[in-house]
């Protein structure tokens, strides 16, 4: 190859390199414009999606009244676990969600409720107490026992405030 041929090839490569950078810049600007336009169209709801909530819509939303409810705090329980358990004690504290009309009745029955919880928690195997996934099952079992002691329709729910193994 002669020097003239090499110079011609170098000149072609240099000019083609400038064109590719220019095309890249145009493509990048076009992509940014299309992306921004797409975002704006989606934001204002032109694409059929959910639009941004307006203040009037939020203010006009239905707000439902909370049901009447009362809470009865139970005395904290400390349950000693068996000698083979990794932990020595269970500290348990809960509150009962009750119908307001029956709050006084449930307060009078608190010693029975504490007794039934104490007896149940002592009877549960320590492996179940130590399993974090079993708390839902334990709660359902305790709530059912409380409802049997207090009578149907008085206690809605059992709220576990503290369940600590140490």
Residues 80 and 103 in one domain: yes
Residues 53 and 79 in one domain: no
Asked if residue 65 belongs to a domain, the reply is no
Q: Which of 12, 38, 60 is the last residue of a domain?
A: 60
Residues 153 and 129 in one domain: yes
pLDDT per residue as tens digits for the range 36-76: 888 888 777 777 655 555 665 655 567 788 889 999 999 99
Asked if residue 157 belongs to a domain, the reply is yes
Q: How many domains does the chain have?
A: 2
Alpha-carbon distance values, 37 to 22, 30, 47 (Å):
23, 10, 11
Provide the pLDDT for residue 38.
Answer: 82
Q: Which of 40, 60, 80 is the last residue of a domain?
A: 60
Residues 98 and 144 in one domain: yes
Residues 91 and 137 in one domain: yes
Query: Beta strand pairing status for 70-73 and 155-165?
Result: unpaired
Alpha-carbon distance values, 70 to 64, 98, 108, 115, 144 (Å):
18, 5, 15, 21, 19
Q: Which of 28, 60, 92 is the last residue of a domain?
A: 60
pLDDT per residue as tens digits for the range 14-24: 555 555 678 77
Residues 76 and 119 in one domain: yes
* 2 band by pLDDT with thresholds 50, 70 and 90: low
User: CATH number for the domain including 161?
Assistant: 3.30.479
89 near 165, Cβ under 8 Å? yes
pLDDT per residue as tens digits for the range 144-163: 999 999 998 999 999 999 99
Tokens of 163: 């369940």
DSSP per position, 132-150: GGGHHHHHHHHHHHHHHHH
Residues 90 and 126 in one domain: yes
Residues 11 and 84 in one domain: no
Residue holding tokens 């090499």? Answer: 6
Q: Which residues pair with 79 in a beta bridge?
A: 90
CA–CA distance, 90 with 67 (Å, rounded to integer): 33
Domain that holds residue 141: 70-165
């Amino acid at each position: 190859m002669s020097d003239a041929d090499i110079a011609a090839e170098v000149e072609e490569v240099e000019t083609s390199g400038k064109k590719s950078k220019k095309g890249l810049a145009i493509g990048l600007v076009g992509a940014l414009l299309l992306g921004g336009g797409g975002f704006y169209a989606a934001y204002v709801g032109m694409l059929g999606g959910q639009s941004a909530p307006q203040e009037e819509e939020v203010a006009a939303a239905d707000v439902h009244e909370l049901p009447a409810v009362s809470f009865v705090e139970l005395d904290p329980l400390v349950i000693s676990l068996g000698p083979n358990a990794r932990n020595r004690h269970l500290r348990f504290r809960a509150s009962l969600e009750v119908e307001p009309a029956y709050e006084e009745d449930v307060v009078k029955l608190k010693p029975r409720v504490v007794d039934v919880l104490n007896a149940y928690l002592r009877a549960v195997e320590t492996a179940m107490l130590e399993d974090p996934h079993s708390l839902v099952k334990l709660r359902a079992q305790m709530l059912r026992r409380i409802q049997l002691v207090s009578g149907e329709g008085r206690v809605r729910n059992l709220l576990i405030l503290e369940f600590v193994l140490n």
